[in-house]
Amino acid sequence: MAPYLTDWRGMWTGRACAVVFPTSTEEVSAILRWANAHHVPVTPQGGNTGLSGGSVPDESGTGIVLSLVKMDQVRSLNVENLSLTVEAGCVLETIQGVADQAGCLFPLSLAAEGSCTIGGNLATNAGGVGVLRYGVARDLCLGLEVVTPSGEVWDGLRGLRKDNTGYDLRDLFIGSEGTLGVITAAVLKLFPKPHGHFTAMVGLPGIAEAVSLLSRLQGALGPCVTAFELISGQCLDIVLRHRPQLRPPLAAAHPWVALVECSLTVAADAAVDQLQELLMAMVETGEVEDVAVASSIAQRRDLWALREGISEAQGSEGFVIKHDISLRVSDIADFVDQASAALAASQPGIRLGVFGHLGDGNLHFNVLGPEGEDGEVFRTRQDQVNRLVHDLVVEHGGSISAEHGLGVLRRDEAARYKSAVEMRLMSALKKAIDPCGLMNPGKLLAEDAWR
Ligand SMILES: Cc1cc2nc3c(=O)[nH]c(=O)nc-3n(C[C@H](O)[C@H](O)[C@H](O)COP(=O)(O)OP(=O)(O)OC[C@H]3O[C@@H](n4cnc5c(N)ncnc54)[C@H](O)[C@@H]3O)c2cc1C
């Protein structure tokens, strides 16, 4: 049972009386009816790659883990409707492959895509690297099949793009982190496959210049700009140190780099020259320091490997205090300046590993301990660091969890910043749908916050 009881980062280990592996919606329904009758808590689990501790049970050992990994069938593909119906345990990479085989694109993409499941992606409303153009998991879902805590099956798999017949139940379950029911299947939105990609790594003097580059690119190419990933120079150094097989993409070091990707449709092919000209003109004026354009699929893959290797490389440096925050794009430069200065003053020697999906205002504002400091010593500073960073995020009108959800990691912190009205509405929903509190207890909302 061990792999199902500890999360991906090894931060939380729980206990359970069993791990169960249903193979059909009927089996999930039977399990939840049984759990409801016997008051057994249930922790739904997909690929167990979540970063907020939501996918593992608590330490009581009284509940079960309900793993969806054996519900991994593609139920139907409808190319004319640009939709794909899959079971919740389908691995994200498999879904991308099925869409690709059909000449389509399923654009949800994140570094854990080889292990995370679509059920987990929807339960956490995952983001990833394509949000700028295609939106978050919520925007990519046309409908759900859900088993409620009492074992009823709600079939919302009609695959409609418009349905204004009352409260949107789909939206209620998306992002609910297993606390309202079990997602057993979903209809996903597909898109026409781009003809190619323009991918480049750009060296930049500061975040303000990155924001202005993004704005110029969007002005010139509109929705063709599909990814704009910001990486601090310090962060890139750490990846290169731990992944020596990857080469530095630019000749010199830069305070910041951006990994920029444009998806090329037929109309956009003509824009490649314009794009190259724009970047070169910005190099001339000093707004951009250097540019490396990927000229083959292998080079594109290597640029993305630098971005996707960040989490693991940072983990190799010891304990990391992670912040998954979201801000208005226009506030990011100011926030990073203020937070960096405040942290440097209060936590001498700390290192910052800042990267993120700048295009949609999502930063991973990660804080690493001083070089050589014991990870456990650094861990004791976690509460102080979180308070400083989160207070500043909220002062800037941002959110303390952009895409990783609350789980147990951010549950109490979110309650601290949410208004009384928000907390009351969330508690009312929990009470109405899971009155016995058996679905993933203690995650997202503390027991005493809703009972
Ligand atoms: C290297 C790495 C990179 C990552 N990058 C990103 C990123 O860029 N963007 C991003 O958003 N996330 C990212 N993540 C976080 C993680 O991959 C996502 O949260 C993912 O969506 C979780 O999917 P999962 O199947 O592993 O879910 P799990 O970890 O198993 O579960 C996550 C939560 O969803 C609930 N859940 C799972 N399946 C179901 C279901 N069928 N029904 C109801 N509830 C369910 C669980 O109870 C839990 O609360 C990353 C993780 C790693 C390890």
Nearest-angstrom CA–CA distance, 411 and 394:
16
Atom of ligand 1 at shortest range from CA of 111: 3
Confirm or reject: Cβ of 145 under 6 Å from ligand 1.
no
Residue bearing the CA closest to ligand 1, atom 28: 48
In this predicted structure, the answer to whether residue 268 has a pLDDT above a threshold of 70 is: no
Torsion region of 279: left, alpha or beta (phi above 0 gives left; psi -120 to 50 gives alpha): alpha
Token couple for 345: 């003053």
- pLDDT tens-digit map of 40-52: 999 999 999 999 9
pLDDT grade, residue 360 (50/70/90)? very high
pLDDT confidence of residue 269: 65
In this predicted structure, the answer to whether residue 106 has a pLDDT above a threshold of 90 is: yes
Confirm or reject: Cβ of 257 under 6 Å from ligand 1.
no
Buried b (16+ CB within 10 A) or exposed e, 49-66: bbbbbbbbbbeeeebbbb
In this predicted structure, the answer to whether residue 270 has a pLDDT above a threshold of 80 is: no
- pLDDT tens-digit map of 108-123: 999 899 999 999 999 9
Average pLDDT over residues 120-141: 96
If we measure between CA atoms, which residue out of 205, 323, 194 comes closest to residue 263? 194
Pocket probe for ligand 1: among 45, 170, 440, 445, the residue whose CB has the most ligand atoms within 8 Å is: 45
If we measure between CA atoms, which residue out of 362, 315, 320, 365 comes closest to residue 340? 365
Confirm or reject: Cβ of 124 under 6 Å from ligand 1.
yes
Distance 49 CA to ligand 1 centre (A): 5
What is the distance in angstroms between the CA of the first residue and the CA of the last residue of the chain? Answer: 31
Confirm or reject: Cβ of 41 under 6 Å from ligand 1.
no
Confirm or reject: Cβ of 46 under 6 Å from ligand 1.
yes
Q: Specify whether the CB–CB gap between 318 and 375 falls below 8 A.
A: yes
DSSP state of 369: P
Average pLDDT over residues 84-95: 98
Atom of ligand 1 at shortest range from CA of 311: 1
- 72 or 449: which carries more pLDDT confidence? 72
Q: Specify whether the CB–CB gap between 173 and 146 falls below 8 A.
A: yes
Half-sphere exposure of 390 (CA within 13 A, CB side): 21
pLDDT confidence of residue 279: 93
pLDDT grade, residue 24 (50/70/90)? very high
3 state SS of 438: coil
Confirm or reject: Cβ of 54 under 6 Å from ligand 1.
yes
Q: Which of 38-42, 172-176, 349-353 has the lowest mean pLDDT?
A: 349-353
Distances (CA, A) of 20 to 46, 77, 117, 384: 12, 28, 17, 39
pLDDT grade, residue 267 (50/70/90)? low
Confirm or reject: Cβ of 126 under 6 Å from ligand 1.
yes
Distance 120 CA to ligand 1 centre (A): 5
Tokens 């909220």, located at residue: 394
Confirm or reject: Cβ of 8 under 6 Å from ligand 1.
yes
Distance 116 CA to ligand 1 centre (A): 6
Nearest-angstrom CA–CA distance, 399 and 304:
26
Q: Which of 64-68, 374-378, 386-390 has the lowest mean pLDDT?
A: 374-378
pLDDT confidence of residue 421: 97
Distance 266 CA to ligand 1 centre (A): 34
pLDDT confidence of residue 375: 86
Confirm or reject: Cβ of 117 under 6 Å from ligand 1.
yes
Share of the chain above pLDDT 90, in %: 89
pLDDT confidence of residue 190: 98
Atom of ligand 1 at shortest range from CA of 136: 11
In this predicted structure, the answer to whether residue 326 has a pLDDT above a threshold of 90 is: yes
In this predicted structure, the answer to whether residue 167 has a pLDDT above a threshold of 80 is: yes
Average pLDDT over residues 308-324: 92
Confirm or reject: Cβ of 307 under 6 Å from ligand 1.
no
* CA dihedral for 220, 225, 230, 236, sign (positive or negative): negative
Atom of ligand 1 at shortest range from CA of 402: 11
Nearest-angstrom CA–CA distance, 32 and 40:
9
| Residues contacting 139, CB < 8 A, separation 6+ | 189
In this predicted structure, the answer to whether residue 265 has a pLDDT above a threshold of 90 is: no
* Mean pLDDT of the residues in the chain: 95
Residue bearing the CA closest to ligand 1, atom 21: 121
* CA dihedral for 272, 278, 279, 280, sign (positive or negative): positive
3 state SS of 228: strand
Share of the chain above pLDDT 70, in %: 99
In this predicted structure, the answer to whether residue 350 has a pLDDT above a threshold of 90 is: yes
Distance 186 CA to ligand 1 centre (A): 15
pLDDT grade, residue 264 (50/70/90)? confident
pLDDT grade, residue 271 (50/70/90)? confident
Alpha helices in 65-117 (DSSP H): 92-101
Q: E strands within 233-322?
A: 256-264, 290-293, 320-321
Residue bearing the CA closest to ligand 1, atom 27: 120
Distance 227 CA to ligand 1 centre (A): 21
